[in-house]
Structure 1
C-alpha cells in the first residue's frame, strides 16, 4: 500500500464536525505562525548570503545550516497566543488517535485538511508543529501532543531540507521502522497486530530487507515475537532492545523478555534514546559492538558487561505530580547514600541525572535557572540540617516550576524511577525496576540497561533501557559544574576502572 500513498497527488484528510467552530481560529493561527517562520527563514537566508560572500559556506549546509533557527523570545506574542487552544482541539479529533492514517498523510505529496467549513494545508500544520516541538514545546502547552509525534516524524523524514535548521546536526536522524512502531504506542489501532503491520513500508531504512507477510491468523504476541526474531536475524544489531517496555503483568513470564510488546502504551518519548550520532553505541574496551545471536528461537545471546546493581529506587515519577517538593524529598533520600561523583557536586549530578544530561532551549537561560534551582535546594538542605525545618518561598517555587529546567525534568522522568546503584551512580530506571536488579551495558546499545536473574542457569530477564550518569564534568563558566555524559560513552567509560569482566549475556 505504501507505493499507492507515495504516488497520490493529494490526500484529503477529513475531520469530524466536533469542534469545527475552532477552525477559523486555527487557520488564523497557522497563517500567523507560518508568517513568523517565513520571516525567520528569510533572515537565515540573509545570513547564508553573507557567509557565502565571505567564502565560509559548506556544501553540507543545503539549503539551510543546522540549528540556525532562532528561539522565540519568552514575551513574543506567539508564545501566549490563545489560539493555540484550537490546535489542541484539532489534535483531540479521533482521526489523530488512529495508527493507520500516519502513512496515508505522511507519504502523500500534498495533504488538505477539511474540518467542517474550514480547510488548510497539512504542510502548514506540520511546519507549525515542528517549530513548536523544537522551539517552544516547554512553553506552548498542547495536552494532546503525543498524538502527533508519529505524524511529525513522517513529515520530517520527507522535509529534511527545512527541518535541519531546527536541529543540531547530531540530534536528528530519519525515523526508523522501530521508531514509527514505538511512537504509535500513543495511538489506537483496532487490531493490535497492526501495531507492526501498519508501519512496515513507512520507513526508508535497513528494515526494508525484512520480509514480513502480515498474518492475521497469528495472535498479537506471536506477531511481536516473530517480528523481533526476524529483525535480529536480518538486521543483526541490538537496536531493538531500546524499545522494550515492561509492566508487572508482562514480566509474569520470563519468555522472550527482550522482544518489545508493542501493545504496551507509552506517552513519554522525551527521554527515549536509540542509537544515533547523538547517542552512539556503547562499545567494549576494545571497541567492539555485540552481534546478537538467536538461540533455540527464544534466547538472545549478546555481549556486554554487568557493571553494578541497584541499591535504591524511588517511587514512580509522573509528570503531573512531580513538583519541586517531590524532587527535594527525593534529594534528601539520595544525598544520604554513597556517590560515585565528587562530593562537592552531588546536587549538580542529581539534577543532571534527572534531565538525562541534557538541556532545552537557550543554554545560558538554562544554566541560570539550573543554578537557581540548585541554590534553592542547597538553602533548604542547610536549613534542614541546622534547624530541622524547611522554609519554602512560594513565589520562588512558582517561578522555577514554570521554567524549562523543571518542565524538562518532569518530562524526562515521567513513568520512570530515580535510582542509585551500589557504586553510587545516579540514573533513571524503568518502572518495573527494584533494588537488587543488575545494571549492565550491552555493547551496541546507546545506554545501559537493567537485568534481573531468572534463577535458571545464567539467563537474565531484560527489564529495559536505563540512563546512568557518567562521572565526566564540564566547567560551566560561573554556573558551577555540569555532568554531560551517559556512563559508557567513550569519554565516560568509568566501568573500565572497576575491573568488571566483559561476558556473554543470555536474555530470556
Structure 2
C-alpha cells in the first residue's frame, strides 16, 4: 500500500523527515514527516545523493507506515543518522510526494530555498574501500593545503608577446614536483583511486549543481570518511591549476577527470546566471527525467519566465525554452541543435535536445565571436503555427557538392586532403571567389579562421599570421612520413591519396617565406632524405616529373627559418578536432567553401538569418518558403558580416543574387 501524504497547506510549506537514531547499519530506519514553512523552518540538514536503480525495495517506517525507498537512499540514511539522537533532514525521495505532479512542480520551484536553508548539505558518494578512501582523502587534504605560489614553478606562464609563446600545454606534474608537495608519485595507485572517485555517478547528476551551489556549507561523505566542502573545493582547484587533468601521453602519466566535476563545486559563492548559459555549462550532466535538464537549473538563474511544470512534456518544454531565448536575446540557442537526419530527428529541428547530454556544446561556432548578420536585429513572424520558427534572412547560395565524413586514422593531413578533392573538382568556381592561391582560404576554413587567445579566458581570436601554414607543414609531413615509414614494404594508400597530401604540402611550402639554412632542421640524417626520395620513386614509378616536384618540396623543407612550436601544433589539432571533425566540407554554386552539419547534402541552401552570428544550412521542402533547419555553418568570407554589409550598401553583384525572404523553419 502506498504511503499516504497529507496535503501541503501552502506554496511555502515543505516536509522535513525526523530520522530516529540508529545504533548500527543493521538497525531499521524509523522516522516521521513534519510540516514546516520555508519562511521559518527549524534547523535541519539536507541530503544530496544518487537515487540509484528504480526499484524501491528497502523500508523506512515513517509515521507508522511502511515507506519504500531505494537501496541507495537506505545506505545514505544509515550513514547520516545519529546513534544518539534524532536528526531533521530533508530528502526529496521522502519529503515530496513523487506521484503528484502538481506537488513535484511546486516543491521544485522552492528547491533553491530548501537547500540554501539547510544548516549543511551532505553529499553522499556511496560506499568505498576504507583503505583507498582514506588515501584519497589524505591526498585531497595535501592538495587543499598546497601553497598556491608553487603553481608558478609548475607551468610556463602564457605571454602576450608573440616572441615568447608558451612552449607546450601543461601536463600532469613530474615526480620531483609531486615530492616537493608531499604528494604520491605518478606511479602510485592513489591517483587511479582519486580518479575513480571523480568518475562516480554522483558527480554526473544535474541536480547536484543546485544542491551544492546554494548550500551554506556542505560535506562529502564517501564510505566512512567525511571530507569538508572547502577541502574538496580547494583540492580540485589546486589539481586544476597544476594540470592534473592533462595527461602526459608521452610518459603515460596519471590523469584526473576534473571535467566530470561541475564547476559549481569549485566556487565558494554562487551568483545567478543566464539559464541558457547554465544549460550549456551542465551539458554533460545526467538526468533521469529529461525535463530536469532545465527544471534543475531554474532556481539558479535570473530567468523568471519558466516555472517547473511536470505536466508538461519534454518536447513542449524544450520548444518553449527555445522560443523564450529567441524572444529574450538572439539566435544563439540555434547553434546547439544536433540534427542527425531531418526525417528521423524529433521535430521541430530547431529545438536542441538536451537529453541525452548534448555533445554539440563544445564545438558550437557561436562561441567564436563571428558576426555573419552584421549585428542585424532578429525579424521574427509569430503569427504562424508554433511548430514553425519563422525568421527573415538572406538566401546566400545553394550547396553544389559535399564531402564524405572521413575517418581520421591516418592523421589530419590525410583527412583534410579528402576535403581538398572538392576544391580541385571545382577549381574555376573556387578561384573566381577566392583567387589563384587556394591554400590559405582552404586551411583557414579547416581551422574556422580561429586560434586560441594567448589569454585563454578571452576565448578565440581570428588568425592574423602565417604560423598556421608552418604548423600544417609540420603536421602534414609528420602524417606523411609516419604513414610511409610504417608501410615501407607495401604502399597501403592509393596513389591519389598521397598526391593529395603532397600537393597540399607543396602549396603550403610555396606560400611561406623562402626558407634559409639558419633555422631548425626538419630531418638531419641523409638516410632519411634518401628514404623519402626512394619512397617517391616507388609511389610514382612512371612519373619522374612528379617525383622531382615533390622531392624539391622536401629539399626546401630540409631547413626552416622558423622554429617548431609544440604549442601551435597542439592548438592546430585542438581547433581542428573541436570544430571540424564532425562537420562536412562543402562548396556552393558560386564557389564559397565551408563546413556544415553532418546531415547536409547537395542542394541544401546557405542562408543568413537576421540576428544570427553564423550562416545556417537549411533544406528546401516542396512547400514554398518552408525549410528543414539543419544547423549552423562556417562559410569562408562571410563570417564577419562582409555579405550583409555589401547587401545593406546595395553593392551586391548581379551574379550573387541574394534573396531576402522569410524562412519557415521546420
TM-score, normalized by length of structure 1? 0.69
1:121 aligns with 2:215: no
Matches within 5 A, 1:268-283: 268-274=360-366, 278-280=369-371, 282-283=373-374
Q: 1:179 to 1:307 in 2, by over 3 A?
A: same
CA deviation string 1:281-322 (max 9, x = no partner)? 7247xx443345251222221111111222333333678886
Are the equivalent residues in 1 in contact too, given 2:236–2:258 (CA < 8 A)?
A: no
Matched ranges for 1:19-418 at <5 A: 20=133, 22-25=136-139, 28=142, 34-37=148-151, 74=168, 82=186, 88-108=195-215, 110-115=217-222, 117=225, 119=227, 121-125=231-235, 127-128=237-238, 131=241, 144=257, 147-148=260-261, 151-152=262-263, 176-204=274-302, 208-215=303-310, 217-232=311-326, 235=328, 237-248=330-341, 251-252=343-344, 255-274=347-366, 278-280=369-371, 282-283=373-374, 287-291=376-380, 293=382, 295-316=384-405, 323-337=412-426, 338-339=429-430, 342-343=434-435, 345-360=437-452, 362=454, 368=467, 370-374=469-473, 377=476, 380-381=502-503, 382=506, 386-387=546-547, 403-418=570-585
How much does 1:450 deviate? 0.8
Which position in structure 1 is the counterpart of 2:46? none
Q: 2:619 & 2:390 partners in 1: Cα distance? A: 15
Cα separation, partners in 2 of 1:246 and 1:93, compared to 1, 3 Å: same
Partner of 2:587: 420
RCO comparison, higher one (Cα < 8 Å, 6+):
1
Distance 1:3 1:125 in 2: 28
Aligned CA distance change for structure 1 residues 34 and 415 (closer, same or farther; 3 Å): farther
Is contact 2:140-2:235 (8 Å) kept? no
Distance 1:23 1:102 in 2: 22
| Contact residue 238 and residue 290 of structure 1 kept, 8 A | no
Instruction: Measure, in 2, the Cα distance between the counterparts of 1:263 and 1:74.
Output: 36
Residue 308 of structure 1: SS of its match in structure 2?
strand
Deviation at 1:419, TM superposition (A): 2.6
- Corresponding position of 1:433: 600
Instruction: Assess, with a 3 A threshold, how the Cα gap between structure 1 residues 220 and 32 changes in structure 2: closer, same or farther.
Output: same
Q: 1:447 to 1:321 in 2, by over 3 A?
A: farther
| Inter-CA distance 489–372: structure 2 relative to 1 (3 Å threshold) | closer
Conserved in 2, the CA contact under 8 Å of 1:281 and 1:289? no
Return the index of the structure with the highest Cα Rg.
Answer: 2
What is the distance in 2 between the residues matched to 1:409 and 1:361?
A: 16
Q: Do the aligned partners of 2:172 and 2:247 also contact (CA within 8 Å) in 1?
A: no
1:317/1:413 contact within 8 Å kept: no
The answer on whether the counterparts of 1:242 and 1:445 sit within 8 Å (CA) in structure 2 is no
Could you report, residue by residue, the CA deviation over 1:420-474 in whole angstroms, capped at 9, with x for unpaired residues? 333333322112112221111111112111101121232111111122222xxxx
Distance 1:79 1:339 in 2: 48
Residues 360, 405 of structure 1: 8 Å contact kept: no
C-alpha separation in 2, matches of 1:231 and 1:75 = 36
How has the CA–CA distance of structure 1 residues 465 and 386 changed in structure 2, closer, same or farther, with 3 Å as cutoff? same
Counterpart of 1:199 in 2: which secondary structure?
A: helix
Whole-Å separation in 2 of the counterparts to 1:111 and 1:328: 53
Question: Which residue of 2 is the match for residue 481 of structure 1?
Answer: none
Matched, 1:2 2:112: yes
User: Is this contact kept in 1: 2:379–2:610, CA < 8 A?
Assistant: yes
Structure 1: runs of 5 or more not aligned: 45-65, 161-173, 471-486
CA RMSD of aligned residues (A): 4.8
